[in-house]
Amino acid sequence: QPMSDSKPAAAPRAVQQPRWWLPVLLLSGCWALAFSVLTSAAASANLAAASLTDASGLTSFPLAAITFTSGLYNLVLPHEIGVLGRYRTYLAGAAVGAGGCIVCWAAMVAESLALLLVGCVFVGIGLSHSQNYRFGVMQCVPEAQHPIAISWVLAGGVAGAILGPEYSKHTRNLITSVPFGGTFLVSAGCFGALILLLVVGALALKDLMKRPVAKEPMRVASDGTAKDEPNEAATALPPRRLAVIYSEPRTLAATLVASLCYASMVFLMSAVPLAMAGGAAPLFSFEQSSIVVQIHMVSMFAPSFVTGHLIRKFGVPAMQVAGALVLIFGSVLSLAVPQTELANYASSQAMVGLGWNWCFITATAGLQRSLRPTERTRVQALNDLAVFSSSGVASLVSGTALRNIGWTGMNVAGIGVAAAIVAIAVTAELAARRVPPRHAAAVAGAETEPAQPV
């Protein structure tokens, strides 16, 4: 009799386990395509603007428009997801992004900086949707696998980091009469391929077609099979007010760390092509600056293959501090190596990418753990609003900062931001450990807070 009972248990394991990883791989591929557009924009968008205007203060506006719009659109994204579900929302975002790339191409044909900025706004909206993939994948996998799933989705950025700058180099003058026109058309094609991948993988992504519900993700039974049994206490809990949610030290730290590390990374990365161009007498070629951007982008996502495991081993606070220390080391390298050396930009940007990876993925995982299921869509969007708005501002001022304080001054500022991340991570963890057990249980979902008057 025991033997007959044990056989059926093995069947669900073989059938259900692939559904955990197939959505991860599909969304990783989607992120690779979307991120190739972003890396291409990082390498060429500001240079495209420089070919349209002599005003140096305006040359950083295209990339700033993309990043700033990516943040602001998160005010709308929760409502869109609530109406359409994540799957249809992702399809709509890719379509808008493709249209934005075509508008950018038209702007280069018309030699219009204003139209280029309009196109970049729509590209930013498309990329805002793709940034949500790291949250969407958690709707498809067991809760215990969230850090690894986030890491593997973002690991698709490795392919995007190589593809984007590479096709930018080869398509910059593809249409000789329209500089960068070919680059924007290829970017539109990447969004088109993303739509195709979502359509082909529709069956594996069926969990994303549901509207977000107050239910815990699948749990893992002792035999390795999926147990789709919601926690009744958690599903009964209503969402808390934002003020209550962000009164928790770890929740606040997650958003602050993600925002600061992203802003610092964008602040330095946006200025790299302009700093390497060196004005009227270029120090380095476009191909060389594209290689540096490529190295930086690969460093941002290649560590994702192990970052999830590191989070599980060392914990969120330790990995946030480690990431911030790597960011400091990257800026110190830039200060130590002469600016006339390619190694100045390549080595420092590699370290900045690695530090960003550890800080950002850790902050994403930490945020998810601090929320009730009913709160996740709204708070995730608010988190991304803070992250990408701050990075948009950082990109907007990077050109002016490069002109006024130089590459050295920008790296000193980067050290200051990284030091702030260390302080936030340590302070939040110490504060969280002083939270009374009763209050901590309520946050976890064991108790509800008193009802608030309407």
How much is the mean pLDDT over the chain? Answer: 82
For residue 236, is pLDDT > 60?
no
Distance, in Å, from the CA atom of 125 to the CA atom of 72, rounded to the nearest integer, reads 9
| Least trusted range by pLDDT, from 158-167, 173-182, 204-213, 387-396 | 204-213
Helix (H) or strand (E) holding 30, with range, is helix 2-50
For residue 442, is pLDDT > 70?
no
Share of the chain above pLDDT 70, in %: 83
Q: Note the pLDDT of residue 279.
A: 55
| 8 A C-beta contact, residue 38 and residue 168 | no
For residue 81, is pLDDT > 80?
yes
Q: Note the pLDDT of residue 56.
A: 64
| Helix boundaries (H) for 302-436 | 304-314, 316-336, 342-369, 376-433
Q: For the segment 259-317, what is each residue's pLDDT rounded down to a tens digit? A: 999 999 989 988 888 888 765 446 788 778 878 888 888 898 889 888 888 998 999 99
For residue 76, is pLDDT > 70?
yes
Q: Note the pLDDT of residue 340.
A: 78
Q: Note the pLDDT of residue 262.
A: 93
Compare 231 and 44 and report the one with higher pLDDT: 44
For residue 162, is pLDDT > 70?
yes
In our burial notation (b when 16+ CB lie closer than 10 A, e otherwise), range 45-68 reads bbbbbbebeeeeebbbbbbbbbbb
| pTM, two decimal places | 0.71
Q: For the segment 83-93, what is each residue's pLDDT rounded down to a tens digit? A: 998 899 999 99
For residue 173, is pLDDT > 90?
no
Max distance between CA atoms of the chain, in angstroms, equals 84
Distance, in Å, from the CA atom of 65 to the CA atom of 270, rounded to the nearest integer, reads 12
Q: Note the pLDDT of residue 211.
A: 58
Average pLDDT rounded to a whole number, residues 402-423: 94
| 8 A C-beta contact, residue 138 and residue 152 | no
| Least trusted range by pLDDT, from 300-304, 330-334, 376-380, 449-453 | 449-453
Average pLDDT rounded to a whole number, residues 98-116: 94
Share of the chain above pLDDT 90, in %: 37
| pLDDT band, very low/low/confident/very high, at 57 (cuts 50, 70, 90) | low
Contacts of 219 (CB under 8 A, 6+ apart): 142, 143, 144, 226, 227, 228, 229
Q: For the segment 4-35, what is each residue's pLDDT rounded down to a tens digit? A: 444 454 444 433 444 677 888 899 999 999 99
Give the distance, in angstroms, between the CA of residue 412 and the centroid of all CA atoms in the same chain. Answer: 24
Average pLDDT rounded to a whole number, residues 124-153: 86
Compare 418 and 399 and report the one with higher pLDDT: 418
For residue 208, is pLDDT > 80?
no
The conformation of residue 435, written as its DSSP 8-state character, comes to: S
